[in-house]
Amino acid sequence: MGPLVPDIISGNINFIVALLIGVLFGMILEQAGFSTTKKLVGLFYGYDFTVLRVFFTAGLTAMIGVIGLEHFGLLDMNLVYINPTFLWSAIAGGLIMGLGFVIGGFCPGTSLCAAAIGKLDAMVFIAGSLAGVLLWGESYPMAEGFYKAANWGNPRIFETLGISQSLFAFLLTAAALGAFWFASIVENKVNGVKKKTILFTPYHIGLASAGILLAASSFVFTGRKDSLVKAVNAPGFAQAYELQAMTPDEFAYRLLNDREGKLQILDFRPEAERKKMNLPESTPFTLDNLFEKAPSKELLVRGKINVFAAEDELTERKMAIIAEKLGFRRVKILQGGLKEFRDQILNFKPPKTASKFERENTYRFREKASKELPVLIEKSKPSGPIIQKAKRVLGGC
Amino acid sequence: MKETKYMDPYLAGFLLGLLLLATNFITGRGLGASGALKSFTVAAAETVAPAHTGSSLFYTEYAGEHSGGPLKNWLVFEVIGVLIGAFISGLVSDRLAFKFEKGPAATNKLRIAGALAGGVLWGVGSQLGRGCTSGAALSGMAVMSTGGIITMVFIFAGAYGFAYFFRKLWI
């Protein structure tokens, strides 16, 4: 599951990856014509909309790709760098950069490409931008208040607008298609030529239908989480599924005698329930945690016995099946759920009729456990649900 | 040999989008450019005036956020790659040449002043906006960051808004 950094690719290899990505980035920008001011500023004077076409196609491709990877459970967006939002500095910075664009004719990335193929004006531009950073650095103490004002955190645009992610992607795609068409009309007018603004060649139709098919696939193939949840909720499926179970007696025994710290209880009850009776050695867990990269690591610790606990066995079964389908091993459920555990162990009442064997073994243990366990439960302080401890990748420009 | 033509913009955009997607998948971050300019500037300032950078807020904050020195930075490596990649592309398409480009009506002096001033504005603006066209606008759009998209809107709005006043530079 992505991102591959820092767990699969780490440290210095990441720098080699950066270099390779940079090479491809530079090649594409140069091939697209971003190494000349003629193409870049054409956008603002209406004679060449290459930048608009490249930029929006790239942004949309990546955006839809990110949605797709997340949809199929391949990319954990909790770990991906989301540019922070500081409202006023974003607006002011944007306007200053816009002014710099029409005066300088480049932006930083494109100036590097242009300089690489020998454009002297781009080299002057780069010198200017280094001076600009220096100027910023020197005036930073004055600007700091403004720079850090209106901190909204790291919201995503569909959250800010209060619409669904797919709706935003759809609207933006539609807007981009409209803009591409409109740009062609303006281009024709400014350049005094008559080119067709919409092309119905097999190439273009093929490309468009591939995009539509991809978009439709997200309706046909539901996300991994949705489909797993649906599968375990099918009537009779979870009950009949073969899982390893731990009896309440073994559970109690392990709670009392867990000197090696082998037992790991994943508590799927809601917070209110956990507060009433908190289990020692337990980690609060949710369905979402199973799909998140950082919390689910708890399940991968070697030598641990993972016991899924919930009020009823059915919930435990559902969660355990999902965990198993996600590839987690050594998952057990608590037989009968915590309800059974309470009835049999914590609130143990010796039945009137019992065999000698039962009295001497099972019931003696249960009686002992029913006295000692409440002390342990009392001692263990309730803790909150797993909070994303994972380090987001540090990014940004 | 005549200059070869540029790539179809939609194809270039599609490839750039795939690259950005791969970058997000592999590294959990987007592309960038101005961040590397910042690293270079900080590195230069720390070499030239260590006493000053040791006490100035901007540099101390930077050092706090970037352990391992300003040049051991993901974007620095990426930008070196950009230079290499663009050079290879220029070589392949026969566009390597020392050239000074300017609008037909602009003088050399005006273009130099413009390039310099534009660069300074980008240097300041990209720090204030926490990223440039690559790091804030494009990468921000890919992950649907509100801040990135606001910056993007205002870069282009600003450019269109100011374009009329600087038309002598270009047309």
Closest chain A C-alpha to B107 CA, distance in angstroms: 12
pLDDT class of A362 with cuts at 50, 70, 90: confident
Res A360 pLDDT > 70:
yes
Residue A157 · residue A83 · CB < 8 Å:
no
Higher pLDDT among residues B20 and A198, named by residue = B20
Q: How close, in Å, is residue A218 to chain B by CA atoms?
A: 18
Who among B45, B81, B150 is closest to A137 (CB)? B45
Alpha-helical regions (H) of A37-81:
37-45, 50-71
What does pTM read for this prediction?
Answer: 0.82
Task: Catalogue all structural domains in chain A, each as residue range(s) with its CATH number.
Answer: 11-228 (no CATH), 241-379 (3.40.250.10)
Quickly state the pLDDT bin for A282 (edges 50, 70, 90): confident
C-alpha distance from residue A296 to each of A316, A337, B97, B165 (Å)? 16, 22, 54, 56
Task: Considering only residues B160 and A200, tell me which one the structure prediction assigns the higher pLDDT.
Answer: B160
d(CA B130, CA A264): 43
Question: Which residues from chain B sit within 8 angstroms of residue A78, using beta carbons?
Answer: none
Q: Residue A202's pLDDT is what?
A: 86
CA dist list (Å): B59 to A131, A133, A394, B78: 15, 11, 18, 22
Check residue A381 and give its pLDDT.
61
Residues 6+ apart with CB under 8 A from A373: A252, A255, A256, A345, A346
The crossing angle, in degrees rounded to 10, of helices A50-71 and A202-220 is 30
Q: Do A101 and B9 touch (CB under 8 A)?
A: no
pLDDT value at A38 more than 70: yes
Cβ–Cβ < 8 Å for A318, A232: yes
State the pLDDT at residue A395.
59
pLDDT at A389: 47
Query: Which of the two residues, A56 and A209, has the higher pLDDT score?
Result: A56
Q: Which residue of A has its CA nearest to B34?
A: A397
Angle between helix axes A87-104 and B108-128 (nearest 10 degrees) is 170
Kindly tell me the number of DSSP H helices and DSSP E strands found in chain A. Answer: 18, 7
Model confidence over B158-170: pLDDT tens digits?
A: 999 999 999 999 9
CA distance B55 to B126: 23
Q: What is the pLDDT of residues A107-147, one digit of tens each?
A: 999 999 999 999 999 999 999 999 999 999 999 999 999 99
Q: What is the ipTM of this complex?
A: 0.96
State residue A204's pLDDT score: 79
Type of residue numbered B80? I
Q: At B152, which amino acid appears?
A: M
A4 burial type by CB count under 10 A (0-12 exposed, 13-18 middle, 19+ buried): middle
Tell me which chain B residues have a C-beta less than 8 angstroms from the C-beta of A154. Answer: 145, 147
Give A-chain residues touching B10 at CB under 8 angstroms: 53-54, 57, 207
Give the pLDDT mean for A140-168.
91
Strand partners, A308: A266, A333
Long-range contacts of A203-212 (CB under 8 A, 24+ apart): A207/B10
CB-CB under 8 Å, B26 with A59: no
Greatest CA separation for chain B: 55
- Measured between alpha carbons, how far is residue A362 from residues A260, A334, A357 in Å? 24, 18, 8
Flag whether pLDDT at B72 surpasses 80: yes
